[in-house]
């Protein structure tokens, strides 16, 4: 994957100086638009993301109990490997995979290979425009770190519009520790700044995002990997 995209680091100084993604400066368009217009990169990106983050799935399942979830929506779920793993662990659960059309087109075959296609609805769309209703838990793994605070509030607000009052928001991402100690999350923070133009966040920054979108951050559950499960509940409307 980086064989094709590594040149974006030539835009690091541009990102630092302007706040704009270095990728845009080097490749002429945002990273996800670039991949979308180069279909040969789609399968490579899928495989690359699985290599980066696939090991986090079992770590998440070891520490967070999805047993009370009836329908889980994986928003921006990519190739479907995450939702498939959760559904395999919880055979009574049903799932929803939501992503852009050119992404879910690749996911359908993969879901069939996992043997859970009959329990997972595949839906096309953009989380900047809407989020599908019908789930009682909404999962975002490595989604918010791609985007600015304003864009994240927009995404989460769409989720707030459809989530039931008893529903659960689950964000699986790095949580940057306080202070200046070493942390791989800080390396990923630079990567997000340079490639999509996003950032990794501290617990207080997540708490602020949640509140702006109508959620209360209720818990942060660390895993044995660099990610945590950041749980939220919808704030009741007065």
pLDDT at 92: 96
Spell 155-168 as b/e; 16+ CB within 10 A means b.
Answer: bbebbbeebeeebb
pLDDT at 231: 98
Q: Which residues are catalytic?
A: 145
Which residues of the chain fall short of a pLDDT of 50?
Answer: none
For the entire predicted model, the pTM comes to: 0.92
pLDDT at 108: 81
Max CA separation in the chain (angstroms): 52
Q: Which of 58, 36, 47 is nearest to 3 (CA)?
A: 47
> How is domain 2-234 classified at the architecture level of CATH?
3-Layer(aba) Sandwich (3.40)
Q: Where are the domains positioned within the chain?
A: 2-234
pLDDT at 48: 83
pLDDT at 35: 87
- Extended beta strands in the chain, E state: 71-75, 94-99, 120-124, 137-141, 168-174, 215-222, 227-234
Say how far apart CA 41 and CA 49 lie, in whole Å: 12
């Amino acid at each position: 994957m980086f064989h094709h995209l590594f040149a974006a680091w030539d835009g690091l100084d541009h990102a630092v100086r302007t706040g704009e993604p270095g990728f845009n400066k080097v490749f002429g368009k945002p990273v996800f638009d670039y991949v979308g217009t180069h279909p040969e990169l789609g399968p490579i990106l899928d495989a690359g993301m699985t290599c980066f983050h696939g090991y986090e799935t079992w770590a998440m399942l070891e520490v967070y109990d999805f047993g009370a979830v009836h329908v889980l929506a994986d928003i921006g779920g990519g190739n479907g490997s995450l939702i498939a793993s959760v559904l395999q662990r919880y055979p009574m659960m049903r799932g929803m995979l939501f992503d852009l059309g050119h992404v879910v087109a690749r996911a359908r075959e993969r879901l069939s290979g996992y043997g859970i296609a009959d329990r997972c609805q595949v839906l096309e769309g953009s989380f900047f425009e809407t989020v599908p209703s019908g789930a009682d838990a909404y999962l975002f793994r490595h989604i918010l770190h791609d985007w600015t605070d304003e864009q994240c509030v927009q995404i989460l607000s769409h989720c707030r519009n459809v989530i039931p009052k008893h529903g659960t928001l689950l964000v699986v991402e790095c949580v940057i520790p306080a202070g200046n100690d070493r942390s791989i999350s800080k390396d990923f923070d630079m990567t997000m700044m340079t490639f999509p133009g996003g950032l990794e966040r501290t617990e207080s920054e997540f708490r602020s995002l949640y509140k702006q979108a109508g959620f209360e951050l209720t818990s942060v559950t660390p895993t044995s990997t660099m990610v945590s499960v950041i749980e939220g509940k919808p704030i009741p409307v007065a």
